[in-house]
Chain A
Amino acid sequence: RKEVEQDPGPFNVPEGATVAFNCTYSNSASQSFFWYRQDCRKEPKLLMSVYSSGNEDGRFTAQLNRASQYISLLIRDSKLSDSATYLCVVSGGVYALNFGKGTSLLVTP
């Protein structure tokens, strides 16, 4: 079973739409959770950390469900500039992070 699983998409949504991504993880002992954003031919960059109580950063909301071992990312009022691949990331062993393969989002005019 893969450590972190995401729907690869692509998700094609119109500007202004709300879109949600989920990912599931297999290691119940994981302690840290992140969403990264990766633009085409660029390096991954941290979008936001995910906290147990859920957290919001502007149009972005992240939720963690430890019992079901899944993480979600909600994007409200989508912008063209939100088009990217979103990577779900979960802490693994002592040093490593486990990266999902990413979900591709395309926001269209």
Chain B
Amino acid sequence: DVKVTQSSRYLVKRTGEKVFLECVQDMDHENMFWYRQDPGLGLRLIYFSYDVKMKEKGDIPEGYSVSREKKERFSLILESASTNQTSMYLCASSPLGGRAEQFFGPGTRLTVL
């Protein structure tokens, strides 16, 4: 079974802090994704990566950056957390090709105070 893990299930941070969310997948997938999910807004793509050191902006990249130094790991960075970044963050991976199913991690519920 594909396994996608995220570093924390729940996280509480203060405004202005730098926040790192880590995601690791064990199926040698080329593509990795970061989404946020908010009530009424559904899943929104923040960034994705189709190869090591490659990244592409999604629909809502402002206030976020990403890092992919190894194939299995994709990090989401909030440079200076703000209260409007309180959300559920979901990482996903998929094999090569945009038509493939995505496998999700359990999510990180981030609260910024």
List residues of chain A with CB under 8 Å of any chain B CB: 31-32, 34, 42-46, 49, 87, 91-97, 99-102
Contact = CB atoms under 8 A, between A and B. Distances in A.
A91 B31 CA distance: 14
Given A95-B31, A95-B56, A96-B48, A46 B42 contact: no
Chain A interface main SS type: loop
Contact of B40 (A92, A99, A101): A101
Contacts of B43: 44, 87, 99
A95 B48 contact: yes
Contact of B100 (A32, A43, A99, A100): A32
B90 A43 contact: yes
Given A43-B90, A96-B48, A96-B58, A32 B99 contact: yes
Interface residues of B, number: 22
A44 B33 CA distance: 13
B40 A96 contact: no
Contacts of B33: 96
Interface of B: 31, 33, 40-43, 45, 48, 50, 56, 58, 90, 98-107
Contacts of A87: 42-43
A23 B37 CA distance: 19
7 contacts: A32-B98, A44-B90, A46-B103, A95-B31, A96-B58, A100-B42, A101-B41
